[in-house]
């Protein structure tokens, strides 16, 4: 695994980096890499990264669109599938997606999952009345009427603030 003791014949036209590497001068290699920065990556590799990024964005937009179509068409099981996929793709969660999935869960009879999503929507948008209203629906379906009424009141309170000109 060691270096051979045979003299190495170097091409005469080595770049400064090539010469520093041939001398095993790590300090010089470091300095050269600092000076060149990321210039060598300009071109195809960055375009590929950009293409990958734009493909991810396009995949997200398509998934959202298919979820919205399923939701609109009252195909709630598919809406849940698409919105679940979308949630896993998103770097910043969407309260609207969580609310739509929550309603879909409620409609197919899964109030526990609906409550979880409604709570996630509130995390995304802490004073959004819709998130509170969805929690109220889920809590009611779970037989937690007092908690449901509290959520309904909280939602109404935030809605009143909005209607009175408080932007949330």
Residue 75 lies in a domain: yes
Does the residue 21 lie in any domain?
no
Q: Is 102 a member of any domain?
A: yes
C-alpha distance across the termini of the chain, in Å: 66
Q: What is the dihedral of CA 137, 143, 146, 152, to 10 degrees?
A: 0
CATH value at residue 57:
1.25.40.10
Evaluate whether residue 74 is within a structural domain: yes
- Closest C-alpha to 99, from 74, 73, 66, 123: 123
Average pLDDT per 10 consecutive residues for the chain, totaling 168 residues: 50 69 73 68 53 84 93 93 94 89 94 97 91 93 94 87 69
In a domain, 70, yes or no: yes
Considering the domain boundaries, does residue 66 fall inside one?
Answer: yes
Alpha carbon distance 147, 120 (integer Å): 17
pLDDT of residue 107: 92
Nearest-5° angle of CA 82, CA 84, CA 89? Answer: 95
Does a structural domain hold residue 61?
yes
Task: Tally the domains of the chain.
Answer: 1
Provide the residue range defining the domain that includes 110.
Answer: 41-163
Q: Is residue 156 part of a domain?
A: yes
Look up the pTM and report it.
0.68
């Amino acid at each position: 695994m060691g270096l051979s003791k045979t003299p190495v014949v170097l091409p005469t036209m080595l770049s400064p980096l090539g010469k520093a590497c041939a001398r095993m001068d790590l300090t010089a290699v470091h300095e050269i890499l600092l000076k060149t920065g990321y210039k060598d990556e300009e071109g195809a590799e960055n375009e590929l990264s950009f293409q990958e990024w734009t493909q991810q964005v396009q995949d997200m937009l398509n998934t959202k669109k298919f979820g919205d179509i399923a939701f609109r068409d009252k195909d709630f099981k598919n809406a849940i599938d698409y919105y679940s996929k979308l949630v896993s793709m998103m770097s910043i969660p969407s309260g609207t997606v969580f609310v739509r999935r929550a309603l879909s869960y409620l409609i197919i009879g899964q109030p526990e999952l609906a409550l979880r999503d409604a709570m996630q929507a509130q995390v995304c948008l802490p004073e959004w009345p819709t998130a509170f209203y969805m929690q109220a629906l889920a809590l009611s379906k779970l037989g937690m009427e007092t908690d449901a009424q509290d959520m309904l009141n909280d939602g109404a309170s935030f809605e009143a603030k909005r209607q009175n000109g408080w932007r949330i």
